[in-house]
Amino acid sequence: MVRGALLTANLPQLQNLIKRDPAAYREEFLQQWNHYNSARHLFKLNPDDQAGNFKELVTFISQVASCYPTETADFPSQLFSLLTDNYPSLSQEIKKSLLQNLVMLRKKEVISSIDLLKYLFPLLPRTSSASLRLFIRHTILSDIVSANARHKNHRLNRAMQAMLFNMIERGMEYRVTRDMDKSSSDRTADSNSEAMWAVIVAKELWKKSVWTDSKTVAIIALGCTHPNLKVQSASMHFFIGEESDEGADDTEADTGIDVRALHHRREINKKTKSGEKKFHKQLKSARKKARPKTSAKQANFPALELLRDPQSFADKVFNLLNHHDTRFTLDHKILVMQLLSRVMSVHKVCILNFYSYAMKFLHYRQPRIPSILVALAQSVNDMTPPDAIEPVIRKLAQEFVHPGVSSEVIAAGLNSIREISARQPWAMDSSLLEDLIEYRKSKDKGVITAARGLLQLYREINPSMLKKRERGKEASMSVSRAPLPFGQSNKVAVDIEGLTLLEDHFNKLHEEEGAANDTEWDGWTVNSDSSSASDSEGWINVEDEEGDIAISGSDDDLEPTDPQAEATASSRVSTLATTKILTPADFALLNDLRIQAATRTVQMSGGSASKRKLASLEANRSHTESNLLDKNVFVTEEHILGKRKKAKADYAERLASIQSGREGRAKFGSRRGKDKEVPSSSTNREKVKNKPIMMILSSDTVRRKKKASLRDKQRKLRAHVEKMKKGAH
């Protein structure tokens, strides 16, 4: 009895003893468990009075729950029900304590990661405290990252991705209307907050390279068509590659500086110069810490490539833009147009109504017209019908390229027309082209550069549209060269060039090893490690009538093939593509085999054509990644505005330039007297010697010297001689 009373009063000691011997202290635990159940019912009735005692009991049960799994089976669900049922009335301290105990149960493996995340996700949009929300967000992200550290936890990922997808989908059925009741308004706000956090979490996991599959892209793509504008903006910024302002409060919490509090103190405190400097310094520090380390101006190419149905996605986004044209702000319209143009460029999607919609913005006085021109030029591809682009080019020429506007406007119009024509040359009319290139005789440098760029473009792609005197020497020699009409190609693709070399290589490996190891997914990408074991649970071999469908990823050592076999391979069509899924690693291997074959051809014949082919193949191998980016290079405002005079810097820019020039330099000021053994300043007599004569003519010293008598001058001279003698001795 005495022991039970002492242990009841000292929960940390009882906790230590239970962890050492759970069976011996089972009765004491059950006593505390009954005490916890009683306190839990009282806590539901009055959370404020029972907060301290109840928090200690919950911490104690969480610490020893792994020792008694049967008795504490319902303990995690009880904590979660306390949070969800009484969340608005609970204090921040109790909320954080209960959440920390749930995390502790996860670390002790009392609950799984899926259970913990199912508890935390519903609480994330309901939390108003920035610090508590940051704790929940950090716990969610760290748990998913740690679960996927060694290998992909597909079960956890699928469950969490389904949860995020449902969080966004729940808000799709609500539409913001003016006559909605209060209950539906509350449901809409909750669904919008859920969708916003679902997008934020998915973006963070993509940024951390934890979720990089098409399911994550599908989650954020669904957010692009969400009725809430903030959810739309955050989702669209993900595909464009720019950081949005959403979630700024949590970013500020990560830096340790509350920007809102800084602004509030600045408003209520007394205005002083020192306070103003301190405020701007703290604000600059917060923005610097919150700035992403990597440049976010490039588009998110992998995400755009992983869109499952680009045509349907682009149609939904355009319908959203077209139907809510009066509701959206200009900045949001431009954001949607930029996303549409990127999708249309990467996947060669055609939305013909987009060009008629964009034409109403084509005026040189339109705000943010460079961004609109960028989106318009980027949306054009070689699969866009020329009839849909021709009115756009004429509209640009009428609004931007005429003597009634400034030279910057003319240059922007010519550059826009050049970018569009580079993607669809047949949209240009020859008579209009002749008028546009005449601007190369202008006096403005930007206009001259833009007109010459348009002229040079058609010299390269279609010299026949130019007059003979404008073609140039090289273009005149190849005047018969012209782009193929719309919808036509040079030849029908029958086979992949050099695929027979890859087929012979695999056959040789199959003969040497006895069986081809082509059923694993290792090395699906070019840079993957073929020796690493596959994380999947295994694949079912599906046999076709022609044979097994093999998927190869091993990048084995390349061996030279037989020249006679190469000659035979060049005159037959390979069937490898019909029996095997070619991976990026296979195409990299194919490029290496082609380089080896071209090298042997150069060694045998030494022809110039063979050397050029070898150089082209080597350049393709060394710039594989850059070529992928070059293929999808997006238009920027610099392409539209072109070369122009440098604008006059404002005060802030001049001050920043001055400060950057002072870095690494010594402090400003004279070094006179500071380089001595004992630093000291100069005397007043020394300073007088260096003064200009006009500054000391009217001084009393000069005046007394002029009026001095002969006797005074002799005394001074004698005193000077005596002083010099003493100094000499």
Q: What is the mean pLDDT of residues 626-647?
A: 66
Report pLDDT for 251.
44
The DSSP call for residue 551 is E
Separation between Cα atoms, residue 631 and residue 627, nearest integer Å: 6
pLDDT at 243 over 50: yes
Q: What is the mean pLDDT of residues 652-659?
A: 84
Separation between Cα atoms, residue 333 and residue 103, nearest integer Å: 43
Residue at 465: amino acid letter: M
Report pLDDT for 448.
93
Quote the radius of gyration of the chain (alpha carbons, Å).
Answer: 38
Separation between Cα atoms, residue 449 and residue 439, nearest integer Å: 9
Whether the Cβ atoms of residue 471 and residue 479 lie closer than 8 Å to each other: yes
- Residues in contact with 587: Cβ distance below 8 Å, sequence separation at least 6, in sequence order: none
Separation between Cα atoms, residue 222 and residue 403, nearest integer Å: 46
Residue at 301: amino acid letter: F
pLDDT at 492 over 90: no
For residue 104, name the pLDDT band (cuts at 50, 70, 90). very high
Whether the Cβ atoms of residue 200 and residue 247 lie closer than 8 Å to each other: yes
Report pLDDT for 185.
56
Report pLDDT for 352.
93
Separation between Cα atoms, residue 474 and residue 273, nearest integer Å: 66
Three-state DSSP string of 165-178: HHHHHCCCCCCCCC
pLDDT at 411 over 90: yes
Number of C-beta neighbours around residue 582 at 10 A: 16
User: SS3 for 348?
Assistant: coil
Separation between Cα atoms, residue 429 and residue 436, nearest integer Å: 11
Report pLDDT for 63.
92
Greatest mean pLDDT among 5-9, 413-417, 539-543: 413-417
For residue 177, name the pLDDT band (cuts at 50, 70, 90). very low
β-pair partners for 550: 580
- Residues in contact with 149: Cβ distance below 8 Å, sequence separation at least 6, in sequence order: none
Lowest mean pLDDT among 162-166, 285-289, 687-691: 285-289
Residue at 474: amino acid letter: E
The closest alpha carbon to 60, from 107, 87, 111, 97, belongs to: 97
β-pair partners for 548: 543
Listing DSSP states for 447-488 in one string gives HHHHHHHHHHHHHHH-GGGS-HHHHHHHHHHTTT--PPPTT-
* pLDDT tens digits along 116-148: 999 898 888 888 888 899 999 999 999 999 999
Report pLDDT for 454.
94
Helix axes 154-169, 214-223, angle to 10 degrees: 10
* Between 51 and 205, residue with greater pLDDT: 205
Q: Is 76 exposed, middle or buried (0-12, 13-18, 19+ CB in 10 A)?
A: buried
Report pLDDT for 340.
95
pTM as predicted: 0.66
Percent of the chain exceeding pLDDT 90 equals 37
Q: What is the mean pLDDT of residues 294-320?
A: 81
For residue 494, name the pLDDT band (cuts at 50, 70, 90). low
Q: What is the mean pLDDT of residues 669-694?
A: 79
For residue 600, name the pLDDT band (cuts at 50, 70, 90). confident
* pLDDT tens digits along 422-474: 999 999 999 999 999 999 999 999 999 999 999 999 988 888 888 888 887 77
